[in-house]
Amino acid sequence: MTDRTGADGHVADYGDPEWADPEHGTWAEDPTHEGYADHEQYADHEPVASHLGFGETPTRASRRRERAPRAARRFLVLFVALALIVGAGYLGFSVLKPLLNRSVDASDYPGPGGDKVVFTVNDGDSGRTIASALQRAGVVKTAQAFVDACTADTRCAGIQPGDYALRKEMRAQDALAVLVDPKNRQNPKVTIREGLWANEIYALLGKATGHSVAEYEQAATSTDVLALLPSSAKGVVEGYLFPATYEFSDKDSPETQLKAMVGKAVATLNRLGVSSDKAERLVIIASIVEAEARRPEDRAKVARVIENRLAKPMRLQLDSTVSYGVQKRAVTTTDAERATVNAWNTYTKDGLPSTPIANPGVESLQAAAAPATGSWLFFVAVNPATGETKFATTQAEHDKYVAEFQAWCQLPENKATCSR
C-alpha cells in the first residue's frame, strides 16, 4: 500500500496505485462513486483509457456482450408471463361465464313448462300482485322474474281479469305473453239481454257458472248486494241487474256476480244524474219501456204515454205488467189474468207497479229520464213480429190500431203466437 499526501496535507489510502488519477482527484473525493464496494459496481463508468482515445477495453466489451443475452432472456420471460396471465384470464372467463349465466337465469325457469294450471287474475290486481300469485302457483320460479318481464313490456298494464291456461315452470316472459292477450281468457261469457226478469237472469248465470237459482235468490238478499241499491229500491234487486255481457267463472260466487251487475246499474244511473230517492220510480218506468217498446225510436214515446196517463190520472192498463204479475210471457193476456189483483197488474192497480217488472238497459233508462214531447195516451204494437207500434191521443184512434193488431193475430202464420 502507498500512502499519498494531498495538497491539504491529508493522507488518503487508495489501495492499488493503478486506480489513482491525479487530474481528477480520488474516488473518495468524487461524489458519484461514494460508497461503492467493488469494481463491478463501477462498470457503467467509462474507464480512463477511453478518455485517452484508446477505445473500449476488453473488460467493458465482454460485459456488454454478456448483458445482451440477459436482457433478451428477461424480455422473453416477461412475454411468457404476460401470455400466461392473458391465457389464464380468458380461460377463467370461459369457465365462469356459464356459471355467471346460470346465476342470472337462476331466477327464472327455462320453459316451456309442464303440467297445466288455470290461473286467475282478479279485478284490480297489480303487476306485482300477479307476479307473487304466479310464483305461489308454481308457474314462474320467482316473482321478480315476472316483474322484470312486465316492466319491459308496456302491454303488462293491460292484463284483464279472468282465468288463463298456463303451465307449471314457465319462463316469466312466456307466461306474460299469455296473460297480455285477451283472447286467452277462459271465462265463460254470459250475455244478459234487456228486459229479462230476475229469475230468468239467475237461470242464465247458473248455466254459465254452475250455481243454482236458489243460490242467486239467496245472494239477492245478502247485505253486500243490498247495500249497493238506492234507498228507494227497498231491498229489491229486480230492475238493477244491468243487462250486459259478463265474464264470470265458477270461482265467482252468486253474490259476487250480482254485486257486479247491480254496481253497473247504479253507475249508469249516476251518469244519467238520477238521484237515489228518484231512482226507483225511473227504473220502474224504464222497465215498462223495455218490456213494451220494440224499436229504439219508440222508447221515449212509450215513456211519455206512461207519464201522461199518470198525470191524468189514468190506470196504465199494460199487458206487460199483467204478464209479470202472473209470471207468464205472452203477446196477449187473458181476461182472467187481467182481472188478477197483485202488486204489478196495472189493470187492477192505480199508478205504477210496486217494483220494476224487468231489468232495463241504458236506452230505456235514458228514455225514462227524458220522455218525448207529445200528448199520446195510448199505444199498441200492430205488428209484434216487427215491433211496429202506433200511438194515439184518443180512444177511438186507439181502437182502430187495436183492430189492426187483432187482424195480424188472425193471420194463419200468427195465430199460434197470439193464442193462449
Q: How confident is the model at residue 350 (pLDDT cuts 50, 70, 90)?
A: very high
Residue 38 is predicted with a pLDDT of 44
| Tens of pLDDT, residues 204-222 | 999 999 999 999 999 999 9
pLDDT band at 58 (very low <50, low <70, confident <90, very high): low
Percent of the chain with pLDDT strictly greater than 90: 64
Residue 68 has pLDDT above 70, yes or no: no
Q: Which amino acid is at 302?
A: V
Residue-wise pLDDT for 224-280, tens only, equals 999 999 999 999 999 999 999 998 888 889 999 999 999 999 999 999 999 999 999
Rounded to two decimals, what is the model's pTM? 0.66
Query: Sorting pLDDT into bands at 50, 70 and 90, what band is 111?
Result: confident
> Tens of pLDDT along 370-395?
999 999 999 999 999 999 999 999 99
Grid coordinates representing 98 are 356459464
Query: DSSP secondary-structure letter at 245?
Result: E
Domain range list for the chain: 3-43, 46-106, 116-184, 198-271, 291-418
With 60 as the cut, is the pLDDT of residue 295 above it? yes
What pLDDT does 251 receive? 82
Mean pLDDT of 150-170: 90
In which band, very low, low, confident or very high, does the pLDDT at 71 lie, cut at 50, 70 and 90? low
What is the average pLDDT across 84-113?
62
| The predicted structure's pLDDT at residue 274 | 96
pLDDT at 99: 46
Please calculate the CA angle 148-154-158 and round it to the nearest 5 degrees: 105
**329-352 burial by CB neighbour count: b if 16+ within 10 A, else e?**
eebbbeeebbeeeeebbbbbbeeb
Percent of the chain scoring above 70 in pLDDT: 75
Grid cell, residue 65, equals: 456482450
pLDDT computed for residue 396 by the predictor: 97
The pLDDT value recorded for residue 17 is 40
Q: How far apart are CA 157 and CA 197, in angstroms?
A: 37
- What's the pLDDT at 186? 83
- Of 225 and 154, more confident: 225
Q: Which residues contact 56 (CB under 8 A, 6 or more apart)?
A: 50
Let me know how long the chain is. 420
Position 183, amino acid: K
Query: What would the mean pLDDT of 281-287 be, rounded to a whole number?
Result: 98
SS3 21: strand
d(CA 74, CA 108): 51
Chain centre to alpha carbon of residue 17: 102
C-alpha span between 223 and 247 (Å, rounded):
23
Q: What is the pLDDT of residue 23?
A: 45
What pLDDT is stored for residue 47 in this prediction? 42
pLDDT mean over 146-173: 91
When the candidates are 3.40.50.300, 3.40.1440.10, 1.10.1060.10, 3.30.1490.480, the CATH number that belongs to 116-184 is 3.30.1490.480
**CA 168/CA 166 separation, integer angstroms:** 7
pLDDT at 177 over 90: yes
Q: Is the separation of the CB atoms in 237 and 276 below 8 Å?
A: no
Decide if 213 contacts 202 (C-beta within 8 A). Answer: yes
Please tell me the predicted confidence (pLDDT) of residue 302. 98
